[in-house]
Structure 1
Amino acid sequence: MLNIKEIEQAVNNEQNAGGFADLMKTFLQLGVKKYDYLIAQGLYRYYDDDHHLDLQMNAVSKSVSPQGNPTKLKEAVQKAQAGQIDFDIFCQLAGEAGITHWQTDLIKKKVTYYKHTTPLLIEPIPGL
């Protein structure tokens, strides 16, 4: 079963979005198989094999544009991967690009960014 304190500690130890792969490795060690981030709600939903756990942590709800913009999203992802922006700015840019949520699948090693149920971008998790 997932441990709230261990997940919170792992997230709080991440310095910037450039440390994403290390955070994902830690999540795997903690039993996390995948997680969703819901932008408008500012909520993380972590999954193991049998349960899920909702956490607010460092999340802040952001508005989501009615228009999906994969190009704008790709630019935001690249900035985050390079460590040029923090999580809050990334969420703002993702919302501006029309992303309602993303799912990080640690088993398949990919992040899928959605506009409701439609995937707009699928990215491999670099370094995982």
Structure 2
Amino acid sequence: MFTIEQIKEAHAKVKSGADFPNYIQDLIILGVKGYDTFVNDGHTEYYGVNNYSVTADEKYAELKIASFPNKELFIELLVKHQGGETDYMTFCGHCAQCGIAKWRVDIIEMTCTYFDLVGNEILIEKISG
């Protein structure tokens, strides 16, 4: 099974949203089936087979998540991030500003789903690998 240390090594190669597809390929090799990243503090829960999971600690000081999602602004900022225009912390700040509480990457389905504070799906993207 995979460890947080292995995941951190894969994540260290990510400099912008443009590096995300390669990161997903690294996670597949490790055996990760999916993960949830929580915007409020950046902690992430990774899932594997047979209910295996590991949790990475928070990454930054707590961000306040907007109570109501702004899907249109979020999509605009997400496109910029995926184009390599923003770094991870800037993206997390944009998520909080736009009411995104977490995102779930499903490596089996190759989707990334963004959720608001009450668990509503705000956007589902196909991940191109």
What's the TM-score, normalizing by structure 2? 0.92
Partner of residue 7, structure 1: 7
Following superposition, the deviation at residue 81 of structure 1 comes to: 1.0
What percent of counterpart residues are identical? 26
**CA distance 1:56–1:17, shift in 2 (3 Å):** farther
- Say whether 1:70 aligns with 2:71: yes
Task: Tell me how many residue pairs correspond in the alignment.
Answer: 126
Runs of 4+ in structure 1 over 3 Å off:
none
- Say whether 1:98 aligns with 2:92: no
Following superposition, the deviation at residue 56 of structure 1 comes to: 2.8
For structure 2, list consecutive stretches of 5 or more residues without a partner in the other structure: none
Following superposition, the deviation at residue 4 of structure 1 comes to: 1.8
Partner of residue 121, structure 1: 123
State whether residues 4 and 55 of structure 2, in contact with CA within 8 Å, keep that contact through their aligned partners in structure 1.
no
SS in 2 for 1:13: coil
SS in 1 for 2:66: coil
Residues 61-97 of structure 1, C-alpha deviations (whole Å, 9 max, x = no match): 3210011111111112101110100110000001111
Partner of residue 17, structure 2: 17
For structure 1, list consecutive stretches of 5 or more residues without a partner in the other structure: none
